[in-house]
Structures are given as C-alpha cells and as structure tokens.
Amino acid sequence: MSLTIAILTVSDRSAAGTREDLSGPALGKAVKRAGWVVSATVIVPDEIQQVSDQLKTWADSGGIQVILTTGGTGFSPRDITPEATAAVIDRHAPGLAEAMRAGSLIITPHAMLSRATAGTRKNTLIINLPGNPKGALENFRIVAPVLPHAVQLLENDDRAEAGHQPGRAV
C-alpha cells in the first residue's frame, strides 16, 4: 500500500536558516525507501500557532494520510510540538508514542525524556518524532510497520480487516 506522507520540521534554528535541517531530509529518504510518497515538507519555528496551523492545513486537505513531525518533543522551554499536536487532534493514539519510547529506551535512557505524542485529525495520522536525525529514524522504524494498517483503518478500508483472525474463546 502506498502512503502519502508530509514531514514537518519544528526548529527555530532551521527555520531561521542558521542550522541545516538534517532530520526532515533523513525522514524523507526513509519514507521513500519504504515505497511511500513524500508529498510536502515544511520547516517552522517552535511556535505553537505555526505548528498547529500547518498540521491543520495538511490534515484538513484530505490529501495527506500521515504527518511526521520532527523536533520540539523534549524538555526545552521552546519544545512545543506535543502541545501543538494535542491542540489539533481529534483522538489520541497513545500506543504509537508508547511503542516509540519503549523501543528507543533499549537504545538510550534519554528516550524516557521524550514527550512525543500521536493522534488523528479526520483521516490523517500525526506522529511526533525527535529532532535528532538518529532518533527520528529510530522512531520512524518502530512505527513504520503499522502505518499502512493504521491508514486503512482511518479510511474505513475493507482490507483493514483482512488480516484479522476471529478470536477464540478461552
């Protein structure tokens, strides 16, 4: 299943042009390696309104199935991506954020400092990833296997149930 994915880099320095965005392009390459399409990439500063506005624009367009954000998920006072995401989503998807933290915790104890969140707005899945390229890719690899099924479910696609087996009574 091909997916249409947008990547939002949240970084004051990258938005100002004083630091190259490494995470957005790294994620773009990983998305393309998975056989999916990167439909848009944008860099915004750590400003809650700009992040929220971009997420709403993309999710409400109907043409983007998954939005990956990178940056703004840590403890810095300017890190506001989870708050901006929470302000625009209709439903939380805590299992995705929990899986990313659990998987990353095997690699680094700093994973427990992640405030990343995930959720849906209309038929679009939004997932916050770390701003560090290594962390962004590690977390993307954790959630990538479930993205096609998540999108099928969001789109109420009949194929979503094809892999489910009827439960057995114990």
**What is the reported pLDDT for 160?**
83
Q: What pLDDT does residue 169 have?
A: 52
Whole-angstrom distance, CA of residue 160 vs CA of residue 3: 14
- Residues whose CB falls within 8 Å of the CB of residue 165, separated by 6 or more in sequence, listed in order: none
Instruction: Please report whether residue 22 resides in a domain.
Output: yes
Residue 109 lies in a domain: no
User: Token pair for residue 158?
Assistant: 């009949």
For residue 127, what pLDDT is reported? 99
Residue 45 in domain:
yes
Contact in structure between 104 and 138 (CB atoms under 8 Å): yes
Whether residue 94 lies inside any domain: the answer is no
Range of the domain at 24: 12-70+129-159
What is the predicted pLDDT for the residue at 75? 96
* Calpha distance 25→154 (Å, rounded): 26
Q: Give the per-residue pLDDT at 165.
A: 59
DSSP β-bridge partners for residue 41: 7
Residue 165 falls inside a structural domain: no
106 belongs to a structural domain: no
48: in domain: yes
> Tens-digit pLDDT profile for the chain (170 aa)?
899 999 999 999 999 999 999 999 999 999 999 999 999 999 999 999 999 999 999 999 999 999 999 999 999 999 999 999 999 999 999 999 999 999 999 999 999 999 999 999 999 999 999 999 999 999 999 999 999 999 999 999 888 887 665 655 54
The span from the CA of 37 to the CA of 4, in Å, is: 5
> Would residue 54 count as lying in a domain?
yes
Domain count, the chain: 1
